[in-house]
Amino acid sequence: MSAYMRDQFEFLGLPSPLRRRLARPFLTAPADPLRVALECWARPEREFQYFACDLLARHAKTLTPDALPTLRTLITTRPWWDTVDALAANVVGPVVRADRTPMDAWVADEDLWVVRTAILHQLRYRAATDPQRLFAYCTRWRHEQDFFIRKAIGWALREYAKTDPAAVRRYVADHPDLSGLSRREALKNIGGDPAPAPA
């Protein structure tokens, strides 16, 4: 696992199914899940951060927008796609579902992991997705060369295509300057020609 994560983190070496089974009794409501998450983030072994992501996802509906500064700290501390994506879709998304305007600031952030979170926060919304916000975020970052941003754009569009494939096809057709990666990801399950775009 350490090699898969480019040797950035220490690991206890627990396979994911075993880790989840061992963690299950501890996912019941703690007094302060954010405090527990911060304590887990202070541990060097990555499995503690995975537990924190699972814990926060379990209790995401109890969190308020007041949690966003702490969530941003988690996103930007020892960041990589594994924890960032878990927090984006399963924690930040539910927290801002009633009022998504904080993501308008996050998508303009200097930290690309925060930007990725903003792009992906609607990933589980399906029909509740705000397409104007999604497309605006993708348009804002369509020229970014960072792999994780280009991939996030494609992934977010691909997920929304499950709800409104015509809108995604139209958006991709109207933005020929999307990166090849973003286009391929967006059209992956709905067809279309991803060819005329820069890599």
Question: Which CATH number fits the domain that encloses residue 55?
Answer: 1.25.10.90
Q: Please give the Cα distance from 103 to 34 (Å, whole number).
A: 20
According to the model, what pLDDT value does residue 160 have? 99
Query: The tokens of 90 are what?
Result: 């399963």
One-letter amino acid identity for 168? V
> What pLDDT digit, counting tens, does each position of 84-139 carry?
999 999 999 999 999 999 999 999 999 999 999 999 999 999 999 999 999 999 99
* Number of structural domains found in the chain: 2
Q: Are residues 126 and 190 in the same domain?
A: yes
Q: Are residues 94 and 128 in the same domain?
A: no
Q: Which of 193, 75, 29 is nearest to 67 (CA)?
A: 75
Q: Please give the Cα distance from 31 to 46 (Å, whole number).
A: 23
Q: Are residues 191 and 139 in the same domain?
A: yes
Mean pLDDT score of the chain, rounded to an integer? 92
Give mean pLDDT, residues 63-75. Answer: 99
pTM strictly above 0.85: yes
Q: Are residues 1 and 97 in the same domain?
A: yes
> What pLDDT digit, counting tens, does each position of 18-46 carry?
778 887 877 886 789 999 999 999 999 99
According to the model, what pLDDT value does residue 193 have? 61
Q: Which of 162, 142, 153 is nearest to 185 (CA)?
A: 153
In a domain, 113, yes or no: no
According to the model, what pLDDT value does residue 191 have? 83
> What pLDDT digit, counting tens, does each position of 166-194 carry?
999 999 999 999 999 999 999 999 987 65
Q: What whole-number percentage of the chain has pLDDT above 70? A: 92
CB 182 within 8 A of CB 153: yes
Burial of 32 (0-12, 13-18, 19+ CB in 10 A): exposed
Q: Are residues 5 and 78 in the same domain?
A: yes
Give the pLDDT band of residue 17 (cuts 50, 70, 90).
confident
According to the model, what pLDDT value does residue 178 have? 98
Q: Are residues 65 and 150 in the same domain?
A: no
Give mean pLDDT, residues 130-156. Answer: 99
Q: Are residues 98 and 129 in the same domain?
A: no
Q: Which of 102, 130, 152 is the last residue of a domain?
A: 102
Domain of 10 in residue numbering reads as 1-102
Q: Are residues 4 and 80 in the same domain?
A: yes
Residue 3 predicted with pLDDT over 70: no
